[in-house]
Amino acid sequence: MLLLATVAVGAPTWLMQAGDGPAYVRQAMASVEAAPPPPPPQVPVAEVVTRVLAPASEFTGVVAAVRTVELRPRVGGVIETVSVPEGGLVERGQLLFQIDPRPFEVALQSAEAQLRRATVLLEQAKVDLERSQRLAPKGAIPAKTLDDDVASKREREAQVEEAQAVVAAAKLDLSYTRVTAPISGRVDRVLVTEGNLVVGALGAATLLTTIVSVDPAHVYFDIDEATYLGFRPEGAAFVSPAPVAVGLTGEDGFPHAGALDFLGNRVDRSTGTIRARAMLANADGRLTPGLFARVKLATSAARETVLIDDQAVGTDQGRRYVLVLAAGDMVEYRPVELGAMVDGLRVVEHGLSGGETIIIKGLVRPGMQVAPNRIAMAPVAASVDGASLEARR
């Protein structure tokens, strides 16, 4: 046992002094010293993507119609026919309800008869005045008779004008028996069917149905105070519409493009938000009033932005960093400040510039030399309006 221990302890010393040992030991040590260093590790690298993007924030909003009409009759009567395509589209001027027109036709005939009577009396008054104007200079009639004929003619003229107004009102009431669509849009269900008596009095008219416009559509949303102050500095005027993109529940991304067309004049103290509104094209009618919508609002002018693959980002004690391929294929540590995801890539606010190449993944450390395997960064899909908007942070 003592001998074995001595050999075990003395063996390293003997190996270290290989120059005094056997020839095969010297040959083994020489081959180890002459062996080439291992090749640098091969890692995938990619050049950062640069795009012109407009930074944006995301909000939750609701779709609303630009125009909404509660259809009520202007005259009262019995509903004679209903031709409402419930839930369908109607054009402006399309007949939807027909009120029994007969009482209004009778009223029009009576008004026209009164107009004819007033016209006949006016013609007689003109004849009497002409006769008086011929006789008065000769002294054949008193001056008062001439004055009376002048006044009578003016009275008859006023009666004719009054009768004409009554006829116009009767015609208007008769036209109101045809209840037509005041706007183009989508009509709701019928609330009053044939045979029912409706009221047309002002303030108490019967509700027949409702119509909402379809194209374009509004989306209302609330902007928080911090975003508002960055988006519109104090005192700045709301001049040009900012681009907006909208997505509905179940839709990928924000496929509907529009523009901000209204910004409130005060911040709600209870919520710390300000009301905003966007207008969007809605030719297919998909943006139905009342739907919840995801709204992405551009908060500043478009600028050149660096985008990278998210898997290239590392964490070091809470700090985010990437490994940059420097000169001589050396690995360089670079702290970065990250933004939002845009079309599958991560926005880099600070730390990287266009044209730089980063290491996507691999077990390497700063200061190492690597063998770069150049690949393309993940593809970036084109946005709906041609210029991506940065997503919510």
Q: Does domain 102-176 have CATH number 1.10.12?
A: no
The per-residue pLDDT for range 345-382, each reduced to its tens digit, is 888 888 888 889 999 988 888 888 888 888 888 654 44
57-65+220-298 sits in which CATH class? Answer: mainly beta
pLDDT above 60 (res 384) = no
Within a 13 Å sphere around the CA of 186, how many CA atoms are in the beta-carbon half? 17
Give 318's pLDDT tier (boundaries 50, 70, 90). Answer: confident
Q: 68-100+177-212 adopts what CATH topology?
A: OB fold (Dihydrolipoamide Acetyltransferase, E2P) (2.40.50)
Percent of the chain scoring above 70 in pLDDT: 84
Neighbours of 107 (CB within 10 A): 17
* In the chain, where the domains are located: 42-54+303-374, 57-65+220-298, 68-100+177-212, 102-176
Averaged over 315-338, what is the pLDDT? 89
Q: Is 336 exposed, middle or buried (0-12, 13-18, 19+ CB in 10 A)?
A: buried
The pLDDT tens digits for 117-171 are 999 999 999 998 888 888 888 878 888 888 888 899 999 999 999 999 999 999 9
The radius of gyration of the chain's CA atoms, rounded to the nearest angstrom, is: 44
- Listed in order, strand segments (DSSP E) in 264-344 are 273-280, 292-298, 303-308, 314-316, 319-325, 331-335, 337-342
Per-residue CA distances from 242 to 41, 252, 296, 338 (Å) = 48, 22, 11, 24
C-alpha separations of 7 from 11, 13, 14 in Å? 6, 10, 10
Map residue 316 onto helix, strand or coil.
Answer: strand
At 215, is the pLDDT very low, low, confident or very high (cuts 50, 70, 90)?
A: very high
Residues 50-71: tens digit of each pLDDT: 888 877 788 999 999 999 999 9
Pick the CATH number of 42-54+303-374 from 3.20.20.80, 3.40.50.12780, 2.40.420.20, 2.60.40.10: 2.40.420.20
Cα 322 to the chain's mean position, in Å?
Answer: 36
The candidate with the shortest Cα–Cα distance to 186, out of 207, 209, 217, 211, is: 211
- How confident is residue 21, by pLDDT bands cut at 50, 70 and 90? low
